Amino acid sequence: MAEALLEVRGLHAYYGKSHVLSGVDLRVGSGEIVSLLGRNGVGRSTTVKTIMGMVDGHGSVLYRGQEILGRKPFEIAHLGIGYVPESRDIFPTLTVEQNLTLGLKGRSAKSRWSTEEVYGLFPRLQERRNIQAGVLSGGEQQMLTLSRTLMGDPDLIMIDEPTEGLAPKLVELVGDFLQQLKTRGVSVLLVEQKLAIALQISERVYVMGHGHIVFEGTPQELKRNAAVRREWLEV
């Protein structure tokens, strides 16, 4: 098993009096793609927001063995964690290239990503580099959000529902993008509802139900476990 980059232990979180996360345990190894699966409303997005410092939680979140729970989101980002929200938070009045530049956290010789490399992953963005981001299609905005996060050169990227609302061809493009991240040594924690893509690209999967993890294993083990799929995943 890959050395742990991220370890979440006994993570709890609340929205008001509502107990949303009740003891979440998960880990992501170096260079690993891990998917967090489950129906809407079970706490998957809250998990990544709590890891990122956007929701208060208690328990333990270790990144490279260092406790980060309770830190501010910008501090966590500077440690090397990227976060792509489901809401695709682009700056609509800025151009594609200006949006990408905002992702920079100071370049260094070891930075894995340049604007040109990102355009290599998504040539469509290069074609539209001088266009205001607000006029891009939903799929193009998703490409831009993913690419802007990469510009910060994260070692771990948490991506919330990147294929939501995308056409099948774009879903395939996102899958290829995630595989590219792995080849460049970037670990991925993917929140996803499309079972097919998650099982195709992940080394391990977690299934969430009612604020805690109900299954952990390989994609092959989940495929063989019809009871878990029926109770926690199928609509």
13 domain-assigned: no
2 domain-assigned: no
Mean pLDDT of 29-47: 95
Model confidence band, residue 109 (pLDDT cutoffs 50, 70, 90): very low
For residue 44, the domain's CATH number is 3.40.50.300
218 domain-assigned: yes
31 domain-assigned: yes
Given a cut of 50, whether residue 92 has pLDDT beyond it is yes
Model confidence band, residue 1 (pLDDT cutoffs 50, 70, 90): low
Model confidence band, residue 138 (pLDDT cutoffs 50, 70, 90): confident
12 domain-assigned: no
Mean pLDDT of 22-50: 96
Model confidence band, residue 167 (pLDDT cutoffs 50, 70, 90): confident
Given a cut of 60, whether residue 94 has pLDDT beyond it is yes
187 domain-assigned: yes
Determine the structural domain holding residue 159 and report its residue range: 22-232
Residue-wise pLDDT tens digits, 187-229: 999 999 888 889 999 999 999 999 999 999 999 999 999 999 9
As a three-state string, the secondary structure of 122-179 is CHHHHHCCCCEHHHCCHHHHHHHHHHHHHCCCCCEEEEECCCCCCCHHHHHHHHHHHH
Given a cut of 90, whether residue 19 has pLDDT beyond it is yes
Identify any residues that bridge with 200 across adjacent strands, giving them in sequence order.
none
Average pLDDT value over all residues in the chain: 90
Distance of CA 156 to the CA centre of its chain: 8
10 domain-assigned: no
Rg (CA), the chain: 17
Q: What distance in Å separates the CA atoms of residue 229 and residue 182, rounded to the nearest whole number?
A: 26
CA distances from 118 to 24, 41, 164 (A): 34, 33, 21
- Beta carbons within 8 Å of 228's beta carbon, 6+ residues apart: 207, 214, 215, 222
Are the C-beta atoms of 232 and 38 separated by less than 8 Å? yes
What is the tally of structural domains in the chain? 1
* String of DSSP letters for 14-51: EETTEEEEEEEEEEEETT-EEEEE--TTSSHHHHHHHH
8 domain-assigned: no
Q: What distance in Å separates the CA atoms of residue 218 and residue 131, rounded to the nearest whole number?
A: 42
Are the C-beta atoms of 207 and 222 separated by less than 8 Å? yes
Residue-wise pLDDT tens digits, 23-32: 999 999 999 9
